[in-house]
Amino acid sequence: MPDIQPDDLLGWGAAAILLLTMSRQVYTQWRDETAAGVSRWLFVGQIAASLGFTLYSLAKQDAVFVFTNSLMVVNGLAGLVIDRRNRRRSRSKA
């Protein structure tokens, strides 16, 4: 079992807050079926940054950030897919 330090707990707590916050945004877009007020570039940038941070974290062997940034990639992809769906629905209703 890995040795968990107090700073690891801080990292895991911050990771949970970040993931919950970003996941809530994606959920809200899915629930409301709208792309209003959200740029798709937010998700493109999030995916690119999270991929970079995942690779960096792997090189540094930092499990907290590998886990967090891997889930942020998934969250960004979900947001991008939902954004695309919502934009299509908006165009078809018009």
How much is the pLDDT for 4? Answer: 74
Using CA atoms, how far apart are residues 86 and 92, in angstroms rounded to an integer? 10
The secondary structure of 17-67 as a DSSP string is HHHHHHHHHHHHHHHHT--TT--HHHHHHHHHHHHHHHHHHHHHT-HHHHH
Q: Which pair of tokens denotes residue 44?
A: 């493109």
Q: What is the pLDDT of residue 36?
A: 82
How does pLDDT run across 14-26, given as a tens digit for each residue? 989 999 999 998 9
Q: Which of 66-70, 77-81, 85-89 has the lowest mean pLDDT?
A: 85-89
pLDDT of residue 1: 60
CA 35 to chain centroid, in Å, comes to: 17
Distance of CA 22 to the CA centre of its chain: 6
User: pLDDT tens across 44-78, in order?
Assistant: 999 999 999 999 999 999 999 999 999 999 999 99
Domain boundaries, the chain: 62-94
Q: Is the pTM here over 0.75, yes or no?
A: yes
**Cα atoms found within 13 Å of the Cα of residue 73, Cβ hemisphere only:** 13
Whether 88 shows a pLDDT value over 80: the answer reads yes
